[in-house]
A and B are shown apart, each in its own frame.
Chain A
């Protein structure tokens, strides 16, 4: 064989390489580490996106439910919280889009045809769902998502610290500011609401007697009460009594549990963790009245399951949603109460959920029922960002609240015009 022919691929070696690659590909596809849930499905493959919940055991639970389903192979992608929204939205535009995903009800997903109509699977059990949850998923009489959990959010406080500082549970924003001042000591800050304060934007608006949008889908947040609230929030932010730069975000109760603050805004999901860390030395209260004429409020967040309307297996995905989030009540209760605490959106499950019947959990449910505000499907991500910018500009950066709200109005009206004409 000449040197010349040595330097070239022979046809045989090319075939050999191709066959090797094919075999390797086949083996890889057969391997157990391919991200499949291992279900004994009928050949239909479904992919679902979940954001990474903080509570231990949640990922395993979701995969367990998927594995128990025998009509499709359901693969779960568990995505870090900070990246979830951007990854979800970007992926929905591609062929790798998930068949199912959890998110919050938002009208732009319906307008852009991203989510499937689930009215037919929900209607038979519609009356068993919290009516506010149904309303928050309904556009033009059609229901576009199934609520999986309701997540009331309020303030958690250390009873012993408030008693020691002789501080009563605040019912107004002024009292909260005074409490934060009295509770701030050398090593402990009075209050923690997250570095960006985003969690308390809506509660502050509701507690000022305003709303994000009104019934006609017009701006309802630009009121004198909200402006007064923004000024108070600015005062609080610069008071030195607010914990800033904490290692964990406000959805994580670590700052309260580790004694970095005396009061923290968080969600009901954190209750088991707080109970474990602090015993009975804690309580909860709603976001206080921003102004005298306002009313205490609780943000009822939560997550809902949606079906990708542009997916390849819309009907199979709907069947899975019906099976898990409508038929499997046992799994729904486990999902809502066995890891963190959430309120099941199904009345029949909520009424029998024993873990939510006593102590602070029961108090959380009471606050949910008495002061709760639910997601508004017309309040979109772009609008949410606009009010986040208001908080960034005037609470954290000392812009005039009126000017900051004017700027938000421009952005929100642009969005409203696109959505509703």
Chain B
């Protein structure tokens, strides 16, 4: 794993954050059959390194935009876990007051300005936030997470052109998990070249192992620096894999959506297990330290679930509020 240039504190933060995302997602899988979470969930198990590796480079004031598979981004960007869980449970204490659910998380305190469930829909909005930042001389950069399916959309291409034209401080982060709903990349894209799609516009692109948090961290660091130094946008293609089905808590190989062998190969590339090995090897944390972190995260997650379950549902008067 690429670990040069990462200090101990960041190492631990990255590990804790990835583990937190994983454990939150596993908790959702456990709770989902109770049918108290009454909204579709798009889990990001297996993709944790990208959210953590990118967000480790961001300030609270930077803008982040996400998509329907956004739990990891919200958590890695410092979103409140109680508000997250309450949002999934449709409670008024949720980060979107129960109006958005799993697909529409926001946390404006930390610059997390919203998540669009329209594929590619958030990309131009992130570009616009970057433009707004430049116009107000705020020096905030804008990051947008999207899947490989979004690169098929017009908004992606239109946004790359505009961001390059105006040299805007945007980092485009493609989480290429090779599936758009259930369609494999080979059914949608003539070439396996997402990272090159910005090149005609003059946007540098890099293809990285999205399951190697060190590699993600380093690529994001370079892209964030470029943005901050007014050198314009960058495109990161982080190759990873979605362990669960497109939506819901189950795997989907049983239904023939994808081959079992493919999933098995990726399970062996678990980003957290790889990172854990490096951490132990480097002596940054001990097995006992890791156990303590897990225990502490477990408590935090239980607390968030209790918070959510004990929170009130929105009152009916809230139905028509916030339309404008």
> Do A and B actually bind?
no
Binding site for B on A (CB under 8 A): none
Binding site for A on B (CB under 8 A): none
